[in-house]
Every structure is written in C-alpha cells, then in structure tokens.
Structure 1
C-alpha cells in the first residue's frame, strides 16, 4: 500500500532554515495530470483570440443563413443615430458572443461543481471535455454565423473544467501543498495565452492561402488538442473524491451552488459564515473592487483585437505575436517577481498594478503610432501580471481553513460575472462612441478600484 502511495505522490521539500532535517510534503500526482489537461485545454481555447475579428468579418461577407445581415438590419437605425461605421458591427456582435460565452461559464461552473460533489470529479470532467471537443467540431463546420454561435454556446456550458480542476486540487492537497497546485494552474494559463494565440494565427495565415473557409484548419487543430486532452485525462486521472466523502443529495449540492449564481448572495458573501463581521465587511469591499476592476478591464481587453484590426489593420499573425509578447511579459513577471512577494507587499503591489492599468488604457486609446500602442500594451501586461494574483492572494487570507475554498469560489464567480458583462458593454461603447472615448472613459473609471483598494481595504 505504501508503495502505491509513493508512486501516486511526488515529494516536495519544505525547507526549514532552523532545522537540517527538511520536512517532506507530498504533492499528489493528480495535480500534475490537472496541469497537463488544463494546458492542452487552454492552448485550444486561446487559439481563437486573434482570429475573432477576422471570423466575424468573414461571416459579414459570407453568411449563408443571413443571420448577420438580419442582425445588422435590426441595429441599422441606432447605427445611423450614433453614426457608427458599418465595419464596427463585428465589434458589437463579437462583444455579445464574448459575453454569452462567459455568462454560460458563470452559470455552468457552480452547477458542474455541485454535480461533481455527488457523482465524482472524473465522470463530470469527462463530460465537460467531450462538450469542449464537440464545440470545436461545430466551429469547423460553421459555414454560417448560426452554427458558430451554437459552437460558442456548447463551449460555454462545457467550460466547467477550470472550476473542476480547482476542486480536484482542493481534494488532494493540504494547506501547505495547495500553493503548488495553484501555481501550476497559473503557469498553465500563462503558457496557454503565450502559445495558443500564436498557433491560431499561424494556422489561419497558412489556411487562408489554401481554402475559402480558412477557419476549418485552426478549428480542427483545436479539436485535436481537445481530443488529446480527453484521452489523456481518461487514461491517467484517478478519482480524487471517494464515495464516502461525496455529497448525499444532488438537490442539496445544487442548492449550495445557488450562492455562486444568485447575485444578492454572491456580492454579500452569504456562503461565508462563522467569521468576524469586520472581516466579512472587508471581504465584501475586496470582492466589489475585484468585480469592478475585472468588469472594466475585461471589456477593454476583449475589444483590443478589434482595435488593432480596425485602427492598425493588424492581421491574425500580427495579433498572434501581440498576444505572445503580452503573455511572455506576464509569465516573466509572475514567475520571477510575483511568486516571491512577501505577504506584507501583496496589497501595495496590487495597488501599483491598478495604477499602471490607467495610463495603459490611455496610451492604447490615444495610440496612432505602433510605439505608443506597444507602450500601452507593455503597461497592460505588467499590470495584468500583478493585479489578479495579488488580489486573489489577499482574498485567500479571509475565512476559516474550512471556508477558504468557499471564498475563492465566490471570487471566481465574481470574475466570471464581470467577464460576462464587460465585453458586451465595452463593445457597445466601442461600436457607438469609438475606441478612443471607450478606452479613456474606462481608464478614468478604473481610478475607483485603485483608490478604494488603497484607502478602504486592509
């Protein structure tokens, strides 16, 4: 039995300067399976990022079902009223698609987690991975906008695999080893956002010279990665939630998930109990700051590809390299600086990151030359690398050991909700007011989170 346990777990040394005998903490091998699975998923997921503007332009010109034309006619009169160029209609539709995907994640993730508490992690994760793979097949077949929307819908409701990955890490780790698992999740996201967009752009450039439906090749490669992820997970993952530890009632488990969907419960952190009232008040402020920041940030981040497409005439390859550079800067800062931050510098670093995002969006909004755009993007990458990890670390300091998972789940739901609302609001503003006003207003609005965090949150 001991032999199997040693094979299942990898040993990580916890250094102690005052003791020559280092204590050994075991990191379950399933955490590394989760890391590889997430990396494959994120490589496939991020491939579409630099392609979205070109995809929507493709459907604007070649939509066999006529949905794009029908939607354009519905907004024509408002378009005339605000003077929005017809070419910006793709920004508007892209914002709705981005928000739809994130909203489906917001709703599905807690429900998926609740079901897995009863049925186990493996079977529910496999269902999610099958759904994700199916969404890429639908994307490859999407000769019209209707099928593309269906593909995004299927992908959105299947994207509970990220929250399930967090649950698996919680299943098999102690308080001391949980940080290793969370660090690996962060690395998977960084690598995914560095490599995935570049892969998508390379395939798109190659495929456009070969066929009219150029998106089929990147879509099928995304399916290949998703299928590889599914096979890998089925072969190597072993259930981490034993039957005796599972929830007995599916209805009761889903009722607990309601606290992550009901907006009143979510913002009030009602699922967090047995703590000091003062700590709960601080947690609510931090949660609101996190939501407002991500709401504004995610909207402007989403429209970035449309800005470079329409203002700088960037093609998919140029956008792929843009994401590569942003991701590389983020990975270097997170790996070389953020992970070494002492606890007393976490809040001040988050505040610095929030300050940097303000001039970042000012530069991007006013950019008329490439160097000014990239100055804004460098500040954007530095800020992004600092803010979310530090704010999540601040959040993890609240709640009892038994409720830290609940606190982090609420923060993930707040982030998903912000990402569901931000893109559609920013895209409407971009479409009706233009990129410059949108980014400048967003930059000014981001002063509230930084000032509130600096002055009101401990």
Structure 2
C-alpha cells in the first residue's frame, strides 16, 4: 500500500500547489493583465480566490459522494487529468475573464481533498487516523512550499512559467496514479450515489445530524476562515508593509509550508499520543491566536520571517479535528464527511479572501483614517477566539 499512499499524498500536494503557486505572482499578474493599483489588484485577487473556493464548496461533497459510490481511484485520476489541462489554459490566458474561468475549473479539480481523506480513512485503524490525516496536512504543506517557491523562482521567466510547470507535474502524477492506485471502496462500504445528498447543504445536514458533530463543524469552519487570512493577504500585506519582492514572498510562504509540513507530518503523532486530540487542538488554537496578534502590529520584515515557524505550530488543529469527527462517523459515510469538511474549508476560502482583502484595502490606503495593513490578522484572531470558546463547550460522540 506504500505506492498508493504516496500517490494520494502527491495528489494533495498538487491540490495545495493550485493555491500556493499563484500567490507570489498574483499581484504582478493582475496588474499585467488588468492594470490599476496594488489595492485594486488585491480586490481582483480576492475574486479569483473566491471563485476557486466556491467551486470547492460545491464540488467537495459531489466528489466525496462519487468516491463513496464509484471509488476513490476514478475520482482522483479524472481530476488530475483535467487539472493538467486547466494549468495550460491559465498559462496562455490574456484576460481577467479567462483567468477567472481557469480558477473556476481549478477549484473543481482541486476538490479531491475529500476523496484523499476518505482513502486515508479506508486504510487507517482508528488510532492511526489523526496521524494519517496529519500526513495529508503535511503533503498540503509541501505543496504549499513548492507552489510559492516555484511561483517565485519561475517568475524570473515571466508570470506564466509557473503554470506550465504545474501542468507538467499534474500530468506526471496522473500517469503514476494509472499504474499504482488500487480501489479501497469495497462491496461492504459501497453507497449508492445520491444527487440529493451530494448537494453541499444536504450533505452538511446529514453529517451534522450525527451525535456531537454539529458544534465541531462550526469550530472547523471558524478555524478555516481565520487561517486563510495567510493566502488571502500575505502577498499584498508583505509588499505594503515590508516592500518584499515576489521571490521573498515565495521564500516566506515556503518557510511557512515547511513548518506546516513538519508539524502535521511529525509533531501531530506524538502530540495526539501524549496529549490526546482534544488538548492538542486547544494548544494549537492558542498558538494561532497569539500569532495573529503579533502579525497585526509587526513592522519588521526580518522578525516576520523568524515568526513564521512559530505560527506553523497551530497546524496541529486541522488533522486533530478531522480525527475527532471521523471517530464519530460511520465507515459508510467517511467520504461524505470529508466532502463536507472540504466544502466548509472551501466556503471559508470564499469568505476569507473577500473579507480579508477588503479589510486590507480599507486599512492600507494612504488616505485611510487608521493605517494598519495588519488589520485582517486582528479579525482572524477574533474569529479564532470564537471557535476556541465553542470548542471548549463541544463533546463529540464516538460512532
């Protein structure tokens, strides 16, 4: 099972690259295609990120339910094939509308995180789930490293070069999957596809009806909205506050991704073994609250770079939350649960870029009554605190 395991982790890495790849080049790309100021580019960046996330919200449950009905293998392979073609379109796009179309298709094909997580649930024993979900998070972190680093380095050859590299990598991963990926859905766990349940709202209702799950879903959502402040405004914030170049932005995001991968791939296992999933989540959320407060008022770029590994310590929260909810979900609904989590994650990516870039644009304008480019981090801190308080009151029930 080692090669299929690596293939699934590679697919998650490619999904993460779809987010991170464009971050260092997005301000320059938007100004190149659309013109205007950096503040206006931030608004368009929020729109593109929102389109990407909206498709993940809609298609996360659809792909999760399809994988419960037709298998994980087919869903992952078809998505990778279409993703490769989409990157090629993005590489030649000459208008904002074609870029928008590319992000819409990219959001659909990157909604396979639910299917990858369902595969992990299929092959994991109960005590292994948090650690294996952590490996998915680590793969996401590696993709988040490679995406900005590739985007930053290849920006030397133009704003389109990173898309050609991503297209080639997606195609290569697809070919590997054809050779090594087995099917893990069995006759005992197969569930007939229902378009009604594939609707994100109906899937959410079905999962929220499980004992103790509803408040955990709210915690996961608030955590996700908060944490997406980083991809939403980091490039714009660091240009405005520190005057960073695309290469420096890519490096900083790479440092964060390495820290995130180290935490979710390594720290999550001993943390949940010694502290338990619940205490691990509490410590992780406290780290995030503290990090947001520091970043909001930081004015030194070197200190910001040194702070990044500390902010990554909060990355233990997501896999531990997934594990708690997976324990409370029947085996026949693991794909549906992961689809719901993908939708909530995507919904947060719809809301967070629009809200955070809007707040940034309001407080980063030269004529702003209060000049505070770090204001979005204060909003993220407040949302994280609400989620933290809600988590302290929640008690999931093991299925």
**TM-score for the superposition, normalised by structure 1:** 0.75
> Does residue 146 in structure 1 map to residue 120 in structure 2?
no
Give the conservation status (yes or no) of the 8 Å contact 1:56–1:90: yes
**Larger RCO, structure (CA 8 Å, separation 6 or more):** 2
Corresponding residue for residue 196 of structure 2: 255
Distance 1:87 1:170, change over 3 A: closer
Q: What is residue 351 of structure 1 aligned with on the other side?
A: 282
Give the number of equivalent residue pairs. 387
Tell me, which stretches of 5 or more residues in structure 1 are unaligned?
Answer: 1-8, 11-28, 62-68, 70-85, 208-213
Change (3 A) 1:283 1:118: closer
Q: What's the counterpart of residue 453 of structure 1?
A: 391
Of residues 361, 369, 379, the one that matches 2:310 is 379
Is the aligned partner of 1:271 residue 2:201?
A: no
Q: CA deviation at 1:89?
A: 0.8
Correspondence 1:290-329 to 2 at 5 A: 290-329=220-259
Q: Determine which of 210, 217, 222 is the counterpart of 1:287.
A: 217
What is the aligned partner in structure 2 of residue 22 from structure 1?
A: none
CA RMSD across the alignment = 2.9
CA deviation after TM superposition for structure 1 residue 408, in Å: 4.2
Q: Which of 355, 362, 370 is matched with 1:425 structurally?
A: 355
Whole-angstrom distance in 2 between the partners of 1:297 and 1:308: 17
The equivalent of 1:437 in structure 2 is 375
Taking the aligned partners of 2:300 and 2:125, their CA distance within structure 1 comes to 50
The answer to which of 385-394 and 102-111 deviates more is: 385-394
Structure 2: how far apart are the matches of 1:181 and 1:440? 32
> Is the contact made by 2:139 and 2:261 (CA closer than 8 Å) also made in structure 1?
no
For 1:137-176, list aligned pairs within 5 A. 137-172=88-123, 175=126
Aligned match for 1:51, one of 25, 29, 36:
25
Distance 1:150 1:190 in 2: 26
Deviation of the 1:185 alpha carbon: 2.1
For residues 63-120 of structure 1, the C-alpha deviation after alignment (integer angstroms, 9 at most, x for no partner) is xxxxxx7xxxxxxxxxxxxxxxx43011111111111101101101221233344444
Q: Relative to structure 1, is the Cα distance of residues 272 and 240 closer, same or farther in structure 2, using a 3 angstrom cutoff?
A: same
- Shift in Å at residue 173 of structure 1? 5.0
CA contact (8 A) 1:204 1:215 kept: yes
* 2: CA distance, partners of 1:392 / 1:129: 24
- The yes-or-no answer on 1:237 pairing with 2:181 is yes
Counterpart position of 1:202: 153
Q: Deviations over 1:97-151 (max 9, x none)?
A: 1111011011012212333444444443332122211111111101222221111
Aligned-partner Cα distance in 2 for 1:343–1:412 = 28
Q: Which residue of 2 aligns with 1:30?
A: 4
Question: Is contact 1:142-1:148 (8 Å) kept?
Answer: yes
2: CA distance, partners of 1:171 / 1:124: 15
Kindly tell me: are residues 225 and 132 of structure 1, through their superposed partners in 2, closer, same or farther at Cα, counting changes over 3 Å?
same
Displacement after TM superposition at 1:431 (Å): 1.5
- Quote the residue 1:5 is aligned against: none
Q: Give the unaligned 5+ runs of structure 2.
A: 365-372
> What corresponds to 2:86 in structure 1?
135
Indicate the residue corresponding to 1:79 in structure 2.
none
Q: Does 1:222 align with 2:163?
A: no
Q: Would the aligned equivalents of 1:364 and 1:372 in 2 still touch at CA under 8 Å?
A: no
3-state SS in 2 of match to 1:271: helix
Does the residue aligned with 1:262 lie in a helix, a strand or coil?
helix
Between the aligned partners of 1:31 and 1:377, the Cα distance in structure 2 is: 29
SS of equivalent to 1:49: coil
Q: Is the 8 A contact 2:68 2:190 kept in 1?
A: yes
Question: Is the 8 Å Cα contact of residues 141 and 147 (structure 1) preserved in structure 2?
Answer: no
